[in-house]
Chains A and B, each alone.
Chain A
Amino acid sequence: MLRGRLTVLYFLPLAAMLVLMVVNRAEAAVSCQRTDGGRYSWGESPAGCDAQPLGDVARAQSVYGGFIFDRRKAKSSAHVRSYMNNMNALIRDLAAGYIKRRNPRAGQAEVDAFVRAIHSVATQESYWTHFRWGTDGRLKIMIGDQGKSYGIMQLHDGAHASRGREKRFDLTSNLMLGIEQFYQGWAGAKNTRCGRGGVTAFARSAYSAYNGGPRAICRWTNKSAEWARNDTGYWEKYSGRPWLRLVNDASKKLTVDIECLKAGRSTCAGRAPEKPAAEPAATGSIAGQIVSLEDGRQCFSATGKELHCATDVRVLSCLEAYKPELLQARVIRLKKTDAVLNGVEIKAYGGRDELCLAAVKDLALPGEFVKLSADLALLDKADGASIGTARAGETYQVVDYEVSPTGANLRYRVAGRDGKFPWIAAGEPGARKVVATTYAPSVKSAVKALPVAGDEIMLVRPGGVNMRAAAATTAEILATIPEKTALTVKFARAIGGMGERWLLVEFGGKTGYVYSGHSAPEVDTARWVAIGGVQ
């Protein structure tokens, strides 16, 4: 008896410490705004929280129309079945594609088991609940575990790979991060004592690891384990496949382009690759349509009298902001010789700035500067985690940007003070937290990473740089300018989706363009030029 009391006494300080730890963690968790209760049922598990402060709501609505459960229609079997069919297809295709890529040798039986396992995880964790329209008509996202776990796969905020809120918020990213974590356990099970029973053992081991951490991989074999009930619950779902009672078209094809969703883009709705090629054809108007030309260009037409075309997906991303209604438009595949294009002016965009400026009027372009009107988090990625704070009043040079449908989620990549290139979220239209400003002596404290008109530069590429007649690597070479030559920039322009930056300069009595690096996926200007002349 006394020994038992002493044991309790030993534990007390540790327990107190852990309780404090848990309290501290909870304080950092998301606070659920306008909670939408729901039942533990398909599409509406507790609790739905206002999506607005947690992610890009405009994009979520545009991209995921058919994947948003509507609580106001929860009693409509047609709505529930449509939702379940769509979710079934998305989970199936993401899971199957993932295991085939990671393990090309996986046989069909293993692929099928993996897909079934992911369907089961999503059931056990959330009953396939991610986005929903709440009873108050607002978009919600499921947040569980007292604000610590996100969405359909209930990604824990302590999960390293999902660092950054936007990835957990996005339905496809949430599924992908969950699938990745689950696959680690699936593959790892093959080397454990409990993974020797084939795909069923992989499925059970992977869930134990998913739920309890990598070292809990064999937890499912211990019926008296602290969290054995979770393994049992998962196994019941895996065995019974309860979703099949509501999925009445298990082989339904996705009507969205899955690679587009996985890449985090938004004009994915009308891009199902399986769409019949001859669908739209040579009659009717192309107004308000996305047109896919056989030469690979993607275009849209606002009036039917013109086509705005680009080949680069990052250029096309500005379409989303320019014409958000096109997000749900279907793709028409055409040849340039089709009659419907007779008399239609085709406008090709070589860079994204013109199109993006048309969509977001107050956009600051790469090379320009923005001044902060509020403290802002510095993010490691456009959708990433905070790595510091930029202070109100500070000025930064823009090196890249991302826009979203309606321009609501404008993010700038800027030249940081430590030589890195963090991102900042500029805020919503009408309530921006940054203002575009021009380069002037007053902002010389800002780091300049991209050369602009008027700058003195020095070429640093060993072997020198070509001066061309136009801003393209196919243009005539006028001269080769030696390394360490100092020049004055007369004009700077970016082309292509990756911000390939060309500078107009004078050398040897000629005027032409020199290349100075791209802005994406990473800024590499320093390989080409040093700003500020001879240093």
Chain B
Amino acid sequence: MRREIYALAAAVGLWAAIAGLRAQDGARSNGAPTAAVSETEAAAVSTAVAEPANAAVVRAEPKPAARAESLVEQIRRKADLEAFRRLEACLDEESGCAVVEVEPRSRHLWVVEQTLESLRWIRQAFLALSDDQRARVRGDVARLSHWALEFPDDGVREEGLRLARVSMDRDELVSAVIPALGGSVSAPLYEEGLEILRLAVADGADRRDIENFLVTTLDRGGFYAAEETARQLLPFIDRDNVERFRRLSARLAPGSNAALFVTENIREFERLQTGG
């Protein structure tokens, strides 16, 4: 019975998505809002922002639009955490979700693809709002970002970082980014996350947690994550921690890129201190 309910929901969802696409026939094809939208234009824009074809799968209760729904309302509805959690539950084979498994990772890839599509839509739509409009849905989007940053897939975490960047304040962002990176070994994810931490440090964020995280990553983190961290270390070195990084560099594998990059960044820090 449970399987049938999911199947029915999926079928209805698909119908809603197709209906939505037909209704938007002639609107922009890639579906991405590209420019800032004024508050007064929001309702009109909402009809031009095509939903991802699979967004309906994420919805708790798909509702073919009876009236023009504002972009703010659409974001609020689509950022429904419970719907995302229901989709996440499909990662478990026992969930009963109907997924055609053509390869061992089909289930994972399918859920990730659905999730990413919806997250990207929400981010782009959020960016299309005015500041006042953003304030009305910022909490919903930030909550969704927290969820995405804990999702067991680096692609979703990366999108979570992008969403967090536009929806969280500095300290919330730092405390969310560190554990998200700490649970991953993906250098591309680190590249994105370290840029966020760099900006936070430049903005005056508390350096202690960030410094501890960097040291732990360089010491015992993923191999390529450590290499990426070493590459981007310079903005995080200061007079108080340079000795700590110097001791750390002596522990790194001789000849490794991580050792090479940390050593060079310390030398550059010293040149910056002394004027070259």
Which residues of A approach B to under 8 Å, CB–CB? 3, 6-7, 9-11, 13-15, 17-19, 21-22, 25, 98, 101-104, 145, 156, 158, 160-161, 163, 176-177, 180-181, 183-184, 211-216, 219, 222, 225-227, 230, 257, 259-260, 262-264, 313-314, 380, 385, 461, 463-466, 468, 473, 480, 498, 514-518, 520-522, 524, 527-528
Contact = CB atoms under 8 A, between A and B. Distances in A.
Contacts of B110: 18, 21
Contacts of A260: 255
Given A262-B223, A521-B265, A13 B271 contact: no
A126 B101 CA distance: 21
B172 interface: no
Given A10-B4, A213-B107, A521 B230 contact: yes
Interface in B252-266: 253-257, 260-261, 264-265
A313 to B, nearest CB: 6
Given A13-B15, A176-B224, A181-B185, 5 more contacts: A11-B7, A160-B153, A213-B152, A215-B92, A461-B275
A211 to B, nearest CB: 5
Contacts of B231: 521-522
A257 B255 contact: yes
Interface centre among A14, A259, A473, A520 (most CB of B within 10 A): A14
B155 A226 contact: no
B253 A466 contact: no
A119 B260 CA distance: 30
A521 B226 CA distance: 13
B232 interface: yes
Contacts of A9: 11
Choose among A11, A158, A521 the residue with the greatest number of B CB atoms under 10 Å from its CB.
A521
B100 interface: yes
A167 B100 CA distance: 30
A528 B105 CA distance: 49
Nearest to B158: A160
Interface footprint category on B: 35 or more
A102 B222 CA distance: 7
A9 B154 CA distance: 35
A504 B172 CA distance: 46
Contacts of A230: 104
B113 interface: yes
Nearest to A102: B220
Contact of B276 (A6, A25, A465): A465
A230 B274 CA distance: 59
A161 B234 contact: no
B202 interface: no
Of all A-B residue pairs in the complex, the 5 with the closest CB atoms, nearest first, are A515-B276, A213-B108, A160-B154, A10-B7, A214-B152
B264 A180 contact: no
A158 B264 contact: no
Contacts of B153: 160, 213-214
